[in-house]
Structure 1
Amino acid sequence: MTGPDPVPDAREVVGVDPVAVGRWFATIGLEHTAPLRFDRIGLGQSNLTYLVRDHADRRWVLRRPPLGHLLASAHDVVREARIMAALETTEVPVPRVLGVVDDPAVSEVPMVLMEFVDGQVVDTMAIVESLTPQCRRAIAESLPRTLAKIHAVDLAAVGLADLAGHKPYAVRQLKRWGGQWEHSKTRELPELDELTRRLTAAVPEQREVTLVHGDFHLRNVITSHDTGEVVAALDWELSTLGDPLADMGSLLAYWPEPGDNTGGDFPASTLPGFPDRAQMSAAYLALTGRDPAALRYWHAFGLWKLAVIAEGVLRRARDTPQNRAAAGTPTVERIDAIVHKALDVTERIDRR
């Protein structure tokens, strides 16, 4: 979780003013011992995340939007903090939010401070390969359980019923991500346009409205070193209200099987011990009792959204190289492979 030691001179950390952040710590009454040290952590390609340490080696996590031009409504860390704070009283495992700042004297963009959650982030192949098959299975089996907890949240009770509109989720998302593609694409891609048309024509009936994480996958959780259970779900910036099966579809999109070419440099789920997509789906459906008929659609939709997100990451990395994360930048070849896989899944939607 902690990654490499922070850089010796905190002034070199991109995107953070250490002195201003230290003053903010004092104003919110957070006990700390100067100087603060910052280290970019995680492999995320969107919002930037830093491990913050003080002289006594106390640890926190700081999060801010990426550098450069931002698309409207994207990378809203204040909204993300609102969601996590609302979930603190539920069964959903989330880091505790300690402070939110939207003050130009501290930062040119809003920032969120949260507790440091100790555990294991399975975000590189080296880490995955170090795990036993039994540990891999335990982690995988915890993912559908965590999704079931997210989708069981009482929206009114936690104050999230107004988080987003209650109109049909697929229609809203197709409009939003289709617009993101048009604003961030680096080239014309007729195959993606065709995929968008197929998804628009095959929207399934929405039967309920729940909290939707929006980007739930193996790299966006912290798991227990001992049990493999998810101890914190991270990266809530895409969370909204909608069809819960969309989250399971996204998880399947990030869950390549042997022979797939969509995993890029992180084909973790192809290793022994990890269940296949059918087993992951069956586990979630058994927990929730939801209808499996629409899940193939949401798998294709998840791949479509993943391709749009990856294209946006590629565009931001080209426009502002300092946004590049340790995971590297998606390649055109991988994005094309994701689109082709999604088109294949939609063919099977038509035949079901």
Structure 2
Amino acid sequence: MTQPHPGLDLDVLGRWLPEHVDGAGSQLSATLIAGGKSNLTYRITDGTAVWILRRPPVGHLLATAHDMVREHRMMSALAPTPVPVPAMYALCDDPDVLGAPFYVMECVDGATYRSKADLAAVGAERTRAMSENFVDVLAELHRVNPAEVGLADFGRPEGFLGRQVERWHKQFEAAHTRELPTMEALYAELSQRVLADTAPGIVHGDYRLDNVLVDGDDRVVGVVDWELSTIGDPLTDLALMLVYGRMAKFSPDTVADATEAPGYLSEDEVIARYAAGSDRDLSDLGFYIALSCFKLAGIVEGIHYRFVNGQTVGDGFSQIGEGVYGLLDAGLAALKEN
């Protein structure tokens, strides 16, 4: 019999929650918001109050993957800053309670927009306002000094870009199913052109519209999904956001296409708005875009590898590997943009 709430024993949680969250009741119900290979996110209620519980997926995990303690620490550190994050209520680092560490946070009242169709319902004017604030929040995040919020030791900013190049090359080697000469060409170019370290900042790691919550005034009221966050070069966030937009044009079946909605800021407008709110040097943005293309291509190639080896479940994977070619070509082209 399938467990109705994977990784969540409501009887156990009902005993734990009142001891760690003020006013919480013990009779709980839950709704799965997001699950699968990503972290499991549940909406929890005692009939009066509502919370969000987040824990790793069920099963064997890499020691460094799906780190709930890191996510909790990042959002707790950002609480006093202008960056909108949910309030953190409790952290459990004891895997004996629910089988893995988890945390409980505020249930932010906001909507998530993922696709062009989602944004069509709000119209071009509101979509523009939303995308403007979305960029402003990223610039605000990158203005936060990690040391001033207790995150000086959260990552290794020295040599960050070089390590990123090597990390994603290793991903391609680990997911090898076919020859990709363009990948090797892009890797060689990136390796030769790694930029010097800049002032370290907070990197979200996957900043896109469906990783924020937006209120009725079209403002971001919660930035979520911090599992890839670290301290490093913040321009990797801006570049990845731009690459998601480019990928929505040539591979809409692989990535969310919210950036294609009428009213959404163009790429040039995104860059100009970010630059107006940041003191970061954008003169080498082409390198960052190429690196983000390399990173996304590595992720997609990993999905393709699992499909080829019969390790994926569900439909829609048979053509996903085609997106790798467009990303690698886009990466080489981006190096000429500087």
With normalisation by structure 1, the TM-score equals: 0.85
- Structure 1 equivalent of residue 159 of structure 2: 168
Structure 1 window deviating more from structure 2 (10-19 vs 232-241): it is 10-19
In the alignment, the residues of structure 1 paired with residue 245 and residue 312 of structure 2 have an alpha-carbon distance, to the nearest angstrom, of 29
Equivalent residue for 1:53?
45
Does the Cα contact within 8 Å between 1:153 and 1:210 map onto a contact in 2? Answer: yes
Secondary structure of the corresponding residue to residue 319 of structure 2 = helix
User: Quick one: which of 253, 256, 259 aligns to 2:246?
Assistant: 256
Q: How does 1:108-119 map to 2 (within 5 A)?
A: 108-119=99-110
Q: Aligned-pair distance for 1:115?
A: 0.6
Pairwise CA distance, 1:43: 7.5
Rounded Cα–Cα distance in structure 2 between residues aligned with 1:245 and 1:134: 28
3-state SS of paired residue (1:50): strand
Return closer, same or farther for 1:314/1:218 CA change in 2, 3 Å cut-off.
farther
Pair 1:303 & 2:293 matched: yes
For residue 289 of structure 1, the aligned residue among 267, 279, 299 is: 279
Distance in 2 separating the partners of 1:332 and 1:189: 18
Is the alpha carbon distance of 1:315 and 1:31 closer, same or farther for their aligned partners in structure 2, counting shifts above 3 Å?
farther
Partner of 1:346: 332
1:33 Cα shift? 3.1
Deviation of 1:101 (Å)? 1.0
Shifted more, 116-125 versus 40-49: the winner is 40-49
Distance 1:298 1:161, change over 3 A: same
Aligned to 2:123: 132
Q: Deviations over 1:83-139 (max 9, x none)?
A: 100110111111111111122331221111111000111124542221110111111
Aligned-residue CA RMSD (Å): 2.8
Which range moves more in the overlay, 129-138 or 339-348?
339-348
Secondary structure at 1:106 match in 2: helix
Q: 2:72 aligns with which of 74, 81, 105?
A: 81
Alignment match, 1:234: 224
Aligned to 1:337: 323
SS of match in other structure, 2:269 = helix
CA distance in 1, matches of 2:219, 2:253: 23
1:50 maps to a residue whose letter is Y
Tell me the CA shift for residue 300 of structure 1: 2.1
Q: Which amino acid aligns with 1:344?
A: A
1:224 to 208, 215, 218: 215
Opposite residue 349 of structure 1, the aligned amino acid is L
- 1:60-209 equivalences under 5 Å are 60-183=51-174, 185=175, 187-188=177-178, 190=180, 191-209=182-200
1:25 correspondence with 2:17: yes
> Relative to structure 1, is the Cα distance of residues 138 and 168 closer, same or farther in structure 2, using a 3 angstrom cutoff?
same
CA 98–92 in structure 1, closer or farther in 2 if over 3 Å, else same:
same
Letter in 1 for 2:82: E
Change in CA separation of 1:208 and 1:342 when aligned onto 2, cut-off 3 Å? farther
Q: Are the equivalent residues in 2 in contact too, given 1:285–1:292 (CA < 8 A)?
A: yes
AA paired with 2:197?
Q
Between the two proteins, the alignment pairs up a number of residues equal to 335
Residues 254 and 85 (structure 1), Cα distance of their counterparts in 2 relative to 1, 3 Å cut: same
Q: Identity over aligned residues, as a percent?
A: 34
Deviation for aligned residue 1:26: 2.2
TM-score of the superposed pair, with normalisation by structure 2: 0.88
Q: How much has 1:304 moved relative to structure 2?
A: 2.2
Q: Deviations over 1:247-271 (max 9, x none)?
A: 1001112213884325636312112
SS in 1 for 2:284: helix
Q: Which amino acid aligns with 2:271?
A: S
Once structures 1 and 2 are overlaid, which stretch shifts more, 34-43 or 153-162? Answer: 34-43
Residues 77 and 151 of structure 2 are in contact (CA less than 8 Å); yes or no, is this contact kept in structure 1?
Answer: yes
CA–CA separation in structure 2 for the residues paired with 1:155 and 1:161 = 5
